[in-house]
Structure 1
Amino acid sequence: MTTIQKKIWLLVSVVLLIMGVIWLTLTYYNQKTQEQSNEILQRYLRMNEVTSASQQMITDLNNFLLNPTINQKKQVERSIHHIEEVQQDVAQLRNAENEFSVTNYIHLIDSLIETTNRSIMFSEEQEMEGSTNEFNEANRISKYISEMTLTILDRELKTYNLVYRDIIKQSEELEKLGIWLLLLITVVLLLATYWFSLSITRPIHQLTRAANELSKGRFNEQIQVKSNDEIAFLAKTFDEMRININDLIVEIQQKAQLEHELQQSKLLLKESQLKSLQSQINPHFLFNTLNTLSKKAYLDGAEETSDLLVSVAGLLRYNLKRIDRSVTLFEEVIVLNQYMEIQKARFTDRLKFESYIDESCLHVKIPGLTLQPIIENAVIHAIEPEEDGGTIFFSIKKNGAWIIIEIEDSGKGMSQEKMEQLLKGRIVPSDGHSTGIGFQNVVKRLELFYGMENLVTIDSQEGRGTKVIIQIPNSLEEQYHDEASNC
């Protein structure tokens, strides 16, 4: 993990590296220019040293001739030794351009030394005329050396004119290089500073946005911070805290939902038990009576009356015993047909019932007494109030993984507000026609049975009828059916 302290040291290292590179570059160019300048200067100094040495030697020789002592002779010998050293230095200045001139220059120095030695020799032999002639010759050679020095220096100046210009040009380029390096340093430092600040501020901004989202109660969004320093560790810890809080909230919601569903189940159970108690007034006596009347009507030739009594007995038996358990759609359809036979006998031609049933769907489990209350609502609110009656359409069909049950009537329909009230259980029947299993009761039992919501929808408009649509899963595990049926 890269820490913020490491990032700071990295930035300092980059700055030091750039400064080091600039220092080395400037030092290199400065050293190179200085070496060229020193080389040329040394050439001039050596040439000038020859002139000075030759003149000094003439002076020392003159002093010796005027006062031929041992000390004066030693001084002349030192001058000769010095000019010989200078001669060796001048020999190193020889190149292709000045080889001829420097060679003659060296020969002149040799001639000066020889003439000086002969003058000393003639002086020691007391040949004053010869000594004076040699001195005059040495003085002439010294002057010629001075003139030739100036000539060679002038030629050197012309030869190194381009070198001087190169040095000036290099100085100008070095100045430009310094400006460009200054700009480069500025740009690099700005970029490095921006990158460094961004690597710290961006994760902090991301963490701030995540904190704002959490303050708004949005605990489902993951906290992601793109960093590899201490801020990333802080973000990871912050995300773990978010997960723990979210899990706690979900757990509380689930507990509240379970408590709500348990309360609803208790209310539904109490309601069903109450309705069951109200309707179970000596049921065996009532069933036996209806069966007796059915047989009596059949013996008397009233077959329709007999069938009607059988339907009433079957419907009553189903209502009393099937509400607390799951049944198949096949059983629901049978009792639905029995109910419609009773209503057709009541309304005769005023009631028309049309159905379409996909028999491959009839094996599916469903809570008992689910379809009859919805059909009953359609009869009460769509058929009974109309003088000419109406039509009820019933269908069961398969749609992929779902079974779609549709119950549609040709009544006057209802408003959007009334549909919402019906789905929320705010409309309570007051005319005594209902079986006691209200519409909201059916909706709740379906949700509890399948563990899903929004299984029932209503499509209606005022003046064009009402359609109730129930969608249920095509298959459920038998164990789940058993557990749901025991709720």
Structure 2
Amino acid sequence: MNTIQKKIWVLASVVLAIMVAIWLTLTFYNQKMQTQYNDILQRYLQMNEVTSASQEIVTDLNRYLMIPTDGNKAQLEESRERLLTVQSTVYDLRNVENELTLTNYSHLIDSFIETVDRSVMFQEQEEAESALAEFAEATSISMYISEMTLTIFDTELKTYERFYRGIIDQSTELEKLGFWLLLLITACLLLFTYLFSISITRPVQQLTKAANELAKGHFDQPIKVDSNDEISFLAKTFDHMRGNINTLILEIQKKAQLERELQESKLLLQESQLRNLQNQINPHFLFNTLNTLSKKAYLDGAEETSDLLVSVAGLLRYNLKRMDRAVSLYEEVYVLQQYIDIQKARYSDRLQFHAEIEESSLGFQIPGLTLQPLIENAVIHAIEPEEDGGQIWFRIQEVEDEIWIEIADDGQGMDEEKQRQLLEQAVVSKEGHSTGIGFSNVLKRLQLFYGRENLVEIDSGIGKGTKITLKLPKVKGAQNHGQTSHSG
């Protein structure tokens, strides 16, 4: 993980590297120019050394001729050796343009040394006139060497004039290079500094934005920071804290939702019980009256009327039970058949009821008074308004680990908005059905009973009828789901 301190060190290292690169570049070009100047100067110094050495030999020779001592001769010999050394170095300065001139120049030096040697020889042979003549010749050659040196200097200046101007132009170009290099380095440093500052300020801005979102209560948005330094670690810690707070809030909301659902369940049960109490007008008197009428009708030979009264009594007894009691599908289907018998007596041939039931599914548990309100809705909305009546299809089947209950009719149907309202309605319907139980009440009790949603599907359309499908989990045995069962 990169740290801010490491980034600062990287920036300092880059700046230092750039400064070193500039220093090395300038030093290289300066050294190159200095070497070129030294080469030129060395050529002049070496040629000038020939003139100085020849003149010094003339002086030492004159001294020796006047005072022929061993010391003066040794001094003359030393000057002679010096000239020979300089001669060898001068010859190394030759090139294509001055090769002939330097060759003649070297031969002239050889002639000068030979003349000096003859003068010394005549002096040792005590031939004074000959020695002086050779001395005069040596002096003349020395002067000629000096003149030829000046001539070579002039030739060198003409030959290297373009080179000299090139050095001057190179110096000017070096100044320009230094200027543009300084501008380039400055731009690179500014760009690098900007990127460096962005790498620090952008994560801080992202973290600040995330903090503002948290301040607004948006705890469900993850905190992401594009960084790999201490700010990234701070952001991860901050995000972990956000996650913990969000989890705590969700738990609080979930508990509040459970409490609200429990309260709604109590209200539903209280309202259902109130509606039942309103319908319980002396139930024992009603049961006894209906049974008496049934027996009298049977004795009078009206068996159909007697059966109808028995169905009404059974239906009334079942509806007076508490709706929080779990019952078997068998019981629900049985009382549903009694309800259909009553409605067929009312609508005659206008009501056609088709049932398809898997017997193996009748042992599973569902909340009481679930099927009758749904069939009653179909009767009210699909049969009653139509002059020719209609048909109702009822099916129970097992699909994997669920019980599917389908109730369909061929009525006028409903639009999508009405379907959505039915599924989302959270209060008990105020519809004036005979049972006093609406679709929303059934839906809410199913959700409370099974502890989950998405139990009901509605498939309908204007003029296409309506099909309601209950997809219920399989529940075995008598279960009260936290409530005490009572018979009505």
TM-score by length of 2: 0.79
1:131 aligns to 2:162 (yes or no) = no
Distance 2:470 2:204 in 1: 49
* Alpha-carbon distance change, 365 to 216 in structure 1, aligned in 2, over 3 angstroms: farther
1:428 aligns to 2:430 (yes or no) = yes
Q: In 1, are the aligned partners of 2:458 and 2:469 still within 8 Å (CA)? A: no
Q: What 5-or-longer segments of structure 1 have no aligned partner? A: none
* Alpha-carbon distance change, 109 to 478 in structure 1, aligned in 2, over 3 angstroms: farther
The number of residues matched between the two structures is 480
Quote the residue 1:181 is aligned against.
Answer: 181
TM-score by length of 1: 0.79
Distance 1:425 1:282 in 2: 29
| Secondary structure class of the residue paired with 1:226 | coil
Deviation readout 1:307-350 (Å, 9 max, x if unpaired): 3123223323432447233345564344233213213323446x
Deviation readout 1:104-144 (Å, 9 max, x if unpaired): 43343343234234435545666442222111110122123
Displacement after TM superposition at 1:195 (Å) = 2.3
Distance 2:261 2:419 in 1: 25
Distance 1:147 1:293 in 2: 165
Distance 2:354 2:173 in 1: 100
Deviation readout 1:164-223 (Å, 9 max, x if unpaired): 566456546645644553354244323322321221122223223323332333222211
Quote the residue 1:194 is aligned against.
Answer: 194
Q: In 2, are the aligned partners of 1:414 and 1:466 still within 8 Å (CA)? A: no
| Secondary structure class of the residue paired with 2:221 | coil
Quote the residue 1:369 is aligned against.
Answer: 369
Once the two structures are superposed, the pairs formed by residues 351-430 of structure 1 within 5 Å of their partners are 351-355=350-354, 357=356, 359=358, 365-376=365-376, 388=387, 390-391=389-390, 393-396=392-395, 403=404, 405-406=406-407, 410=411, 423-425=425-427, 428=430
| Secondary structure class of the residue paired with 1:366 | strand
* Alpha-carbon distance change, 227 to 472 in structure 1, aligned in 2, over 3 angstroms: farther
Q: In 1, are the aligned partners of 2:429 and 2:438 still within 8 Å (CA)? A: no
Q: In 2, are the aligned partners of 1:457 and 1:468 still within 8 Å (CA)? A: no
Q: State which drifts further: 282-291 or 183-192.
A: 282-291
Distance 2:233 2:264 in 1: 46
Deviation readout 1:216-259 (Å, 9 max, x if unpaired): 33222211212111111111111112111111111111111111
Amino acid at match of 1:259: E
Amino acid at match of 1:352: L
Q: State which drifts further: 16-25 or 434-443.
A: 434-443
Q: In 1, are the aligned partners of 2:311 and 2:342 still within 8 Å (CA)? A: yes
Displacement after TM superposition at 1:23 (Å) = 2.1
Distance 2:476 2:162 in 1: 105
Once the two structures are superposed, the pairs formed by residues 58-77 of structure 1 within 5 Å of their partners are 58-62=58-62, 76=76
Deviation readout 1:67-107 (Å, 9 max, x if unpaired): 77888767655543543442343244356775665454334
Displacement after TM superposition at 1:48 (Å) = 1.6
Distance 1:327 1:482 in 2: 8
Quote the residue 2:22 is aligned against.
Answer: 22
Amino acid at match of 1:43: R
- Please report the RMSD computed on the Cα atoms of aligned residues, expressed in angstroms: 4.4
Q: What 5-or-longer segments of structure 2 have no aligned partner? A: none
Q: In 1, are the aligned partners of 2:396 and 2:406 still within 8 Å (CA)? A: yes
* Alpha-carbon distance change, 484 to 274 in structure 1, aligned in 2, over 3 angstroms: same
* Alpha-carbon distance change, 329 to 393 in structure 1, aligned in 2, over 3 angstroms: same
| Secondary structure class of the residue paired with 1:93 | coil
Q: In 2, are the aligned partners of 1:324 and 1:485 still within 8 Å (CA)? A: no
Distance 1:92 1:255 in 2: 104
Amino acid at match of 1:22: I
Quote the residue 2:248 is aligned against.
Answer: 248
Q: In 1, are the aligned partners of 2:374 and 2:407 still within 8 Å (CA)? A: no
* Alpha-carbon distance change, 467 to 372 in structure 1, aligned in 2, over 3 angstroms: farther
Q: In 1, are the aligned partners of 2:280 and 2:320 still within 8 Å (CA)? A: yes
Once the two structures are superposed, the pairs formed by residues 54-453 of structure 1 within 5 Å of their partners are 54-62=54-62, 76=76, 79-93=79-93, 101-120=101-120, 122-123=122-123, 127-154=127-154, 156-157=156-157, 160=160, 163-164=163-164, 167=167, 170-171=170-171, 174-175=174-175, 177-178=177-178, 181-274=181-274, 290=290, 294=294, 297-298=297-298, 300-321=300-321, 323-327=323-327, 331-348=331-348, 351-355=350-354, 357=356, 359=358, 365-376=365-376, 388=387, 390-391=389-390, 393-396=392-395, 403=404, 405-406=406-407, 410=411, 423-425=425-427, 428=430, 434-453=434-453
Distance 1:397 1:170 in 2: 102
